[in-house]
Amino acid sequence: MNCKNCDQLVEGNFCSNCGQNSKVGRFNFLTFIKEVSGSIFQLNRGILFTAKELFIRPGKTIREYLGGKRKRHFKPLAYTFTLSTILYFLSKYLGGETQISDFIEGFNGDENEFKNFPEFLSQLDWLAKNYSYTILMLLPLNSLASYIAFKGFGYNYLEHLVLNAYITGQQAIIYLIVSLLKLGDLNSEIMATLSFLSSITYTFIVFWQFFSTGKKFSRILRFILTYFLDFILLLIGIILLFQLGH
Protein backbone atom coordinates (compact mmCIF):
# COMPACT_ATOMS: atom_id res chain seq x y z
CA MET A 1 0.00 0.00 0.00
CA ASN A 2 1.26 3.47 -0.89
CA CYS A 3 1.03 6.53 1.38
CA LYS A 4 -1.73 8.89 0.28
CA ASN A 5 0.36 11.88 1.28
CA CYS A 6 3.73 11.19 -0.39
CA ASP A 7 3.00 8.04 -2.43
CA GLN A 8 5.82 6.04 -0.81
CA LEU A 9 5.36 2.35 0.01
CA VAL A 10 3.98 1.84 3.54
CA GLU A 11 4.44 -1.39 5.50
CA GLY A 12 3.20 -0.36 8.94
CA ASN A 13 0.70 2.02 10.54
CA PHE A 14 2.70 5.12 9.62
CA CYS A 15 4.65 6.18 6.55
CA SER A 16 8.40 6.01 7.17
CA ASN A 17 8.94 8.89 4.72
CA CYS A 18 6.46 11.58 5.86
CA GLY A 19 4.99 10.10 9.05
CA GLN A 20 1.33 10.22 7.99
CA ASN A 21 -1.03 7.53 9.28
CA SER A 22 -1.40 4.81 6.68
CA LYS A 23 -5.12 4.44 7.48
CA VAL A 24 -6.09 7.91 6.27
CA GLY A 25 -9.32 7.57 4.32
CA ARG A 26 -12.28 9.54 3.08
CA PHE A 27 -13.90 12.05 5.40
CA ASN A 28 -16.78 10.48 7.35
CA PHE A 29 -18.41 11.03 10.71
CA LEU A 30 -15.58 9.43 12.73
CA THR A 31 -12.96 11.42 10.82
CA PHE A 32 -14.89 14.60 11.54
CA ILE A 33 -15.14 13.85 15.28
CA LYS A 34 -11.36 13.30 15.46
CA GLU A 35 -10.88 16.57 13.54
CA VAL A 36 -13.05 18.53 15.99
CA SER A 37 -11.66 16.95 19.16
CA GLY A 38 -8.03 17.22 18.18
CA SER A 39 -7.54 20.38 16.18
CA ILE A 40 -9.68 23.44 16.88
CA PHE A 41 -7.43 24.72 19.66
CA GLN A 42 -4.25 23.02 18.43
CA LEU A 43 -1.79 25.31 16.66
CA ASN A 44 0.00 22.65 14.65
CA ARG A 45 2.49 23.43 11.95
CA GLY A 46 1.57 24.11 8.35
CA ILE A 47 -0.50 27.30 8.50
CA LEU A 48 1.79 29.32 6.19
CA PHE A 49 2.15 26.43 3.75
CA THR A 50 -1.62 25.92 3.74
CA ALA A 51 -2.30 29.63 3.20
CA LYS A 52 0.14 29.74 0.29
CA GLU A 53 -1.34 26.65 -1.36
CA LEU A 54 -4.89 27.92 -0.90
CA PHE A 55 -3.97 31.10 -2.76
CA ILE A 56 -1.94 29.48 -5.53
CA ARG A 57 -4.13 26.44 -6.33
CA PRO A 58 -7.03 26.36 -3.85
CA GLY A 59 -9.42 23.87 -5.44
CA LYS A 60 -6.69 21.36 -6.26
CA THR A 61 -5.17 21.70 -2.77
CA ILE A 62 -8.48 20.93 -1.06
CA ARG A 63 -9.10 17.97 -3.38
CA GLU A 64 -5.66 16.62 -2.53
CA TYR A 65 -6.33 17.08 1.19
CA LEU A 66 -9.57 15.14 0.93
CA GLY A 67 -7.75 12.53 -1.13
CA GLY A 68 -5.28 11.88 1.68
CA LYS A 69 -2.43 14.41 1.36
CA ARG A 70 -2.89 15.89 4.84
CA LYS A 71 0.45 15.76 6.63
CA ARG A 72 1.72 19.24 5.69
CA HIS A 73 -1.61 21.06 5.96
CA PHE A 74 -3.15 22.96 8.83
CA LYS A 75 -6.39 21.18 9.67
CA PRO A 76 -9.48 22.92 8.22
CA LEU A 77 -11.49 23.73 11.36
CA ALA A 78 -8.39 24.91 13.21
CA TYR A 79 -7.51 27.01 10.17
CA THR A 80 -10.89 28.75 10.20
CA PHE A 81 -10.91 29.29 13.95
CA THR A 82 -7.34 30.61 14.13
CA LEU A 83 -7.63 33.08 11.26
CA SER A 84 -11.12 34.25 12.32
CA THR A 85 -9.76 34.95 15.81
CA ILE A 86 -6.83 36.94 14.39
CA LEU A 87 -9.23 38.90 12.17
CA TYR A 88 -11.52 39.72 15.09
CA PHE A 89 -8.77 41.05 17.35
CA LEU A 90 -7.08 42.98 14.55
CA SER A 91 -10.41 44.60 13.61
CA LYS A 92 -10.92 45.63 17.22
CA TYR A 93 -7.37 46.94 17.47
CA LEU A 94 -7.83 49.04 14.33
CA GLY A 95 -11.15 50.35 15.60
CA GLY A 96 -13.21 48.64 12.91
CA GLU A 97 -15.83 45.93 12.84
CA THR A 98 -16.10 42.48 11.32
CA GLN A 99 -18.57 41.71 8.56
CA ILE A 100 -20.87 39.98 11.04
CA SER A 101 -20.81 42.98 13.38
CA ASP A 102 -21.73 45.29 10.51
CA PHE A 103 -24.60 42.99 9.56
CA ILE A 104 -25.92 42.77 13.12
CA GLU A 105 -25.70 46.56 13.58
CA GLY A 106 -28.71 46.85 11.28
CA PHE A 107 -30.86 45.19 13.94
CA ASN A 108 -29.89 47.70 16.64
CA GLY A 109 -31.06 51.01 15.17
CA ASP A 110 -33.18 53.28 17.35
CA GLU A 111 -36.03 53.16 14.86
CA ASN A 112 -35.79 49.43 14.28
CA GLU A 113 -38.73 47.27 15.35
CA PHE A 114 -36.33 44.75 16.91
CA LYS A 115 -35.53 47.17 19.76
CA ASN A 116 -38.62 45.78 21.51
CA PHE A 117 -37.00 42.34 21.71
CA PRO A 118 -33.97 42.79 23.99
CA GLU A 119 -33.33 39.04 24.37
CA PHE A 120 -33.04 38.65 20.59
CA LEU A 121 -30.69 41.62 20.36
CA SER A 122 -28.66 40.20 23.25
CA GLN A 123 -28.21 36.94 21.33
CA LEU A 124 -27.09 38.86 18.25
CA ASP A 125 -24.67 40.86 20.38
CA TRP A 126 -23.16 37.60 21.67
CA LEU A 127 -22.68 36.40 18.09
CA ALA A 128 -20.94 39.65 17.17
CA LYS A 129 -18.62 39.53 20.19
CA ASN A 130 -17.77 35.86 19.66
CA TYR A 131 -16.86 36.13 16.00
CA SER A 132 -14.74 32.97 15.74
CA TYR A 133 -17.42 30.77 17.28
CA THR A 134 -20.08 32.39 15.11
CA ILE A 135 -18.05 31.60 12.00
CA LEU A 136 -17.78 27.96 13.10
CA MET A 137 -21.53 27.83 13.73
CA LEU A 138 -22.23 29.21 10.27
CA LEU A 139 -20.03 26.62 8.56
CA PRO A 140 -22.68 23.85 8.68
CA LEU A 141 -25.12 26.18 6.87
CA ASN A 142 -22.54 27.16 4.23
CA SER A 143 -21.68 23.51 3.74
CA LEU A 144 -25.31 22.43 3.45
CA ALA A 145 -25.85 25.07 0.77
CA SER A 146 -22.89 23.93 -1.35
CA TYR A 147 -23.73 20.26 -0.73
CA ILE A 148 -27.25 20.74 -2.11
CA ALA A 149 -26.14 22.97 -4.99
CA PHE A 150 -23.35 20.61 -6.10
CA LYS A 151 -25.21 17.38 -5.44
CA GLY A 152 -24.01 14.67 -7.80
CA PHE A 153 -20.32 15.60 -7.82
CA GLY A 154 -19.44 12.72 -5.49
CA TYR A 155 -18.58 14.64 -2.31
CA ASN A 156 -20.38 13.99 0.97
CA TYR A 157 -21.57 16.67 3.39
CA LEU A 158 -18.52 16.46 5.66
CA GLU A 159 -16.21 16.91 2.68
CA HIS A 160 -18.16 20.06 1.83
CA LEU A 161 -17.58 21.13 5.44
CA VAL A 162 -13.82 20.82 4.87
CA LEU A 163 -14.13 22.75 1.60
CA ASN A 164 -16.02 25.62 3.22
CA ALA A 165 -13.77 25.67 6.28
CA TYR A 166 -10.72 26.31 4.13
CA ILE A 167 -12.58 28.92 2.08
CA THR A 168 -13.73 30.73 5.23
CA GLY A 169 -10.23 30.72 6.67
CA GLN A 170 -8.81 32.13 3.46
CA GLN A 171 -11.53 34.78 3.33
CA ALA A 172 -10.37 35.88 6.78
CA ILE A 173 -6.92 36.53 5.29
CA ILE A 174 -8.53 38.62 2.54
CA TYR A 175 -10.42 40.65 5.17
CA LEU A 176 -7.18 41.03 7.15
CA ILE A 177 -5.42 42.45 4.11
CA VAL A 178 -8.27 44.89 3.46
CA SER A 179 -8.27 45.92 7.14
CA LEU A 180 -4.59 46.77 6.89
CA LEU A 181 -5.18 48.72 3.68
CA LYS A 182 -7.69 50.87 5.57
CA LEU A 183 -4.78 52.26 7.56
CA GLY A 184 -3.95 54.28 4.46
CA ASP A 185 -7.10 56.42 4.97
CA LEU A 186 -8.74 54.89 1.92
CA ASN A 187 -12.49 55.29 1.43
CA SER A 188 -14.19 52.83 3.81
CA GLU A 189 -17.10 52.13 1.46
CA ILE A 190 -14.74 51.36 -1.40
CA MET A 191 -12.70 49.08 0.84
CA ALA A 192 -15.84 47.31 2.05
CA THR A 193 -16.88 46.72 -1.57
CA LEU A 194 -13.39 45.51 -2.42
CA SER A 195 -13.48 43.11 0.52
CA PHE A 196 -16.88 41.73 -0.51
CA LEU A 197 -16.00 41.32 -4.19
CA SER A 198 -12.61 39.77 -3.40
CA SER A 199 -14.24 37.25 -1.10
CA ILE A 200 -16.84 36.21 -3.69
CA THR A 201 -14.23 36.07 -6.47
CA TYR A 202 -11.95 33.87 -4.39
CA THR A 203 -14.83 31.53 -3.51
CA PHE A 204 -15.76 31.26 -7.20
CA ILE A 205 -12.18 30.35 -8.12
CA VAL A 206 -12.09 27.65 -5.44
CA PHE A 207 -15.38 26.14 -6.58
CA TRP A 208 -14.33 26.35 -10.23
CA GLN A 209 -11.17 24.37 -9.55
CA PHE A 210 -12.64 22.00 -6.99
CA PHE A 211 -15.61 20.96 -9.14
CA SER A 212 -13.57 20.93 -12.33
CA THR A 213 -15.30 17.88 -13.82
CA GLY A 214 -18.63 19.62 -14.35
CA LYS A 215 -19.80 21.61 -17.34
CA LYS A 216 -18.84 25.28 -17.21
CA PHE A 217 -22.34 26.77 -17.38
CA SER A 218 -23.62 24.26 -14.83
CA ARG A 219 -20.85 25.16 -12.39
CA ILE A 220 -21.69 28.86 -12.67
CA LEU A 221 -25.39 28.21 -12.01
CA ARG A 222 -24.59 25.93 -9.08
CA PHE A 223 -22.28 28.57 -7.61
CA ILE A 224 -25.08 31.15 -7.76
CA LEU A 225 -27.47 28.60 -6.25
CA THR A 226 -25.03 28.05 -3.39
CA TYR A 227 -25.17 31.71 -2.39
CA PHE A 228 -28.95 31.78 -2.77
CA LEU A 229 -29.37 28.72 -0.53
CA ASP A 230 -26.85 30.15 1.92
CA PHE A 231 -28.95 33.30 2.22
CA ILE A 232 -32.16 31.30 2.71
CA LEU A 233 -30.58 29.11 5.39
CA LEU A 234 -29.16 32.15 7.17
CA LEU A 235 -32.59 33.80 7.08
CA ILE A 236 -34.16 30.67 8.57
CA GLY A 237 -31.47 30.67 11.27
CA ILE A 238 -32.21 34.32 12.16
CA ILE A 239 -35.95 33.60 12.32
CA LEU A 240 -35.34 30.65 14.66
CA LEU A 241 -33.05 32.79 16.80
CA PHE A 242 -35.73 35.47 16.91
CA GLN A 243 -38.34 32.94 18.02
CA LEU A 244 -36.05 31.71 20.79
CA GLY A 245 -35.43 35.26 21.95
CA HIS A 246 -39.03 36.41 21.59
Give me the torsion for CA of 26, 166, 73, 206, rounded to 10°: 80
Q: Looking at this protein, which amino acid is placed at residue 111?
A: E
Give this prediction's pTM.
0.76
The two most distant CA atoms of the chain are separated, in Å, by 69
How does pLDDT run across 77-136, given as a tens digit for each residue?
889 888 888 887 877 776 665 566 555 555 555 445 555 566 666 666 666 666 667 788
pLDDT tens per residue, range 159-210: 999 999 999 999 989 888 887 776 655 556 777 788 889 999 999 999 999 9
For residue 38, the one-letter residue type is G
